Chains A and B, each alone.
Chain A
Amino acid sequence: MGEVAIRVENLGKRYKIGQRVRPKSFGEMLTGLIRTPFNEAKLGLRKPPAQDGFRQCEGMVWALKDLTFEVAKGEILGVIGRNGAGKSTLLKILSRITRPTRGYAVISGRVGSLLEVGTGFHGDLTGRENIYLNGAFLGMRKTEIDRKFDEIIAFAETERFLDTPVKHYSSGMYMRLAFAVAAHLETEILFVDEVLAVGDVAFQKKCLGRIGEVAKDGRTVVFVSHNMAAIERLCTKGLYIDKGVGLSTSSVREAIGLYLGDSCNEVNWDNEIISKASIRQNGEQIEIDADYKFKQNLEIPCLGFVISDYLGNPICGTNPLIDAVPIPMTSTNAGRVHITLESPKLLNGTYRLSLWFGDGRVDYFHRQDCITFDVVNMAGLKQLPASSVGPVAPKCHWHFS
């Protein structure tokens, strides 16, 4: 411990977006090709001033800005952030698929990266052949693959089809085989990007377990995922990235807290009865807020909500009339509704919120699935996966006799 495996210093990556500027002619493209390296060399000598460095050029976007962090040997870094925050860009740079625009990274040790499972799989080749080909692409030596071959096929549960071209595999078998090879990649440093989201529940569990094993083996892992529960269970350190800027390399919990606090759990509407609505997890409760403004005074601001799972299956919902909330003394036409949801306790996962608003007789406002939000450890640290037991935690009294 203590030895640094990965050091990232002021790393930045700029992408061109939108319409690519096409060279006007073939000749221009050729001269551009030859000239740019010299321009770049010149730029490299001039150190850009720190402030001015990230000037927003037109059609340019910084996917990563000034990212600095260190990962010690044996640490498991969980990288989290919203879609487009720059997590995948970071992994692509660290895996040497693309170059950074600024800054640098130093990696000491043999690197393996899993940005996708089944890299290089070819449909016309058999399962056996693809294991070797895929393994080689991931950076395994042939002797290494030979040694682990039996383990890999046992893990994939596809022994019977070893000599069948993989194009005849079912998609589940294909993914299992692909992950099995990836799971046996034993480099000192491993980059993993959300490859766990494959296969059935049982297989996902197996994969998570495998990453845990790898981690216990003293390897350094950088793990990017949206699965907060997996991040919390596996990682020893967290890095939260927002809009290309790394915000924390502190504990995993802190990083997750930042992510949840920041995840886009708020929506605004212009010229609507509801101008703003938000939902967030506060410890073991869920809080919903909505600001309303109606054309006339209301007896009761009848805000109804439904929480559904990520696929849109409703889980629970209510409104003040159903809940028999006492009617407030004064009637107004504008204000805020604040709801605290103590039960049911939702299991880890991503959920959606739908909202209704009316005067108790007619609904004047309805937004289906207007906010997506994450729940982490609302029902405690020990949980069964929502995908196998459903989204809510039961509250039971047990009696043994």
Chain B
Amino acid sequence: MSSRAPDNHTILIKPLQGWEPLRLRDIWEHRELLYFLIWRDIKVSYARTNLGVGWALLKPVLTMIVFTFIFGWLTQLPSDGVPYPIFVYAGLLPWQLFARLVSGAGSSMVANESLVTKVYFPRLIAPLSITVVGTLDFVIAVGVLLGMMWYYQIALTAGVWVLPLLVAVTIAAGLGLGLWIAALNVLCRDIGHAQPFLIQCWMFATPIIYPTSLIPEAWRTLYALNPMVGVVEGFREALFRTGGQSDSMMGMSLIVAGVLLVSGLYVFNRIEQSIADTV
């Protein structure tokens, strides 16, 4: 009655020995599950809300309004001559994507505990799904940015071609760090509690509410080790031509994000095999 394809795959189950390859093929074979997980995460995160996907717009916009009020209007922080609301929003966009990935991927194993202990799937699929959902929210929020640029009469420059690259760097850094946190969180739940605080501090170490020009020249190299510095700088440079020294910073971001992603993947892969026993 059924037409089963005679797919002859053989599985070898053996003890864990050292660092293992990433088994990307296994993830490819589970792509349908990834699709279902993405769909679930989208569906569930806006289930029982009246605004639905509207929250993807509202969250960055509300944050922008609050920041503009406190830091732009009350504290009078400089913004390199760009109107403060759009200055802050351009920084918030990649930042919120990054923060979302770190917290989402970071808690993905503990949050899916019931699945992880009951059914096999390449564990990487859970953080990957969160990555896709986060990126979709980001794309929606970009709509507001375009609206603001029209309002402030800022024309798109030729430099926007770097934006997709910067988004990729953000994803690499966020997912990489998230995977580290997911792995460590399984070993020790303290990490889960420390993570929101980490993100909060990290935000102040990133030029979102203030321009990089406030940082003393001597400290900039160290400052740029934070991969989000280069990304935010790059975003502003591409949109507003603020004329910063974003090229070297972006290069640094690319390297740091790459290291984070690769090391995160391996550490996660390493922990993945024993998650069901320790989670």
Contacts and interface: CB of A to CB of B under 8 A. Distances in A.
Interface in B113-155: 114-121
A97 B116 CA distance: 7
A186 B187 contact: no
B217 interface: no
Contacts of A129: 40, 43
A383 interface: no
Given A137-B119, A186-B2, A108 B18 contact: no
A interface: dominant SS:
mixed
Contacts of B119: 95, 97, 113, 115, 119-120, 137-138
B75 interface: no
Interface in A167-192: 186, 188
Interface string B1-19: 0101001111111111111
A108 B8 contact: yes
Nearest to B187: A29
A167 to B, nearest CB: 10
Contacts of B184: 29-30, 33
B276 interface: yes
Interface in B70-121: 114-121
Given A97-B118, A188-B4, A44 B17 contact: yes
Given A98-B274, A100-B15, A137 B33 contact: yes
Contacts, number: 125
A37 B18 contact: yes
A119 B36 CA distance: 14
B273 interface: yes
Given A120-B115, A133-B36, A93 B44 contact: no
B15 A99 contact: yes
B193 interface: no
Nearest to A92: B276
A369 to B, nearest CB: 32
Given A41-B17, A99-B14, A122-B44, 20 more contacts: A29-B184, A33-B267, A40-B17, A41-B19, A97-B116, A99-B15, A99-B274, A104-B14, A107-B10, A110-B4, A110-B9, A113-B119, A119-B114, A124-B43, A124-B47, A125-B40, A132-B36, A133-B40, A137-B115, A188-B4
Interface of A: 15, 22-23, 26, 29-30, 33, 37-38, 40-41, 44, 92-111, 113, 115-116, 119-120, 122, 124-125, 129, 132-133, 136-138, 141-142, 147, 186, 188
13 contacts: A96-B11, A97-B116, A97-B120, A99-B14, A103-B15, A106-B13, A109-B8, A116-B118, A120-B115, A122-B44, A124-B43, A132-B36, A137-B115
Interface of B: 2, 4, 7-19, 32-33, 36, 40, 43-44, 47-48, 114-121, 183-184, 187-188, 267, 270-271, 273-274, 276-277
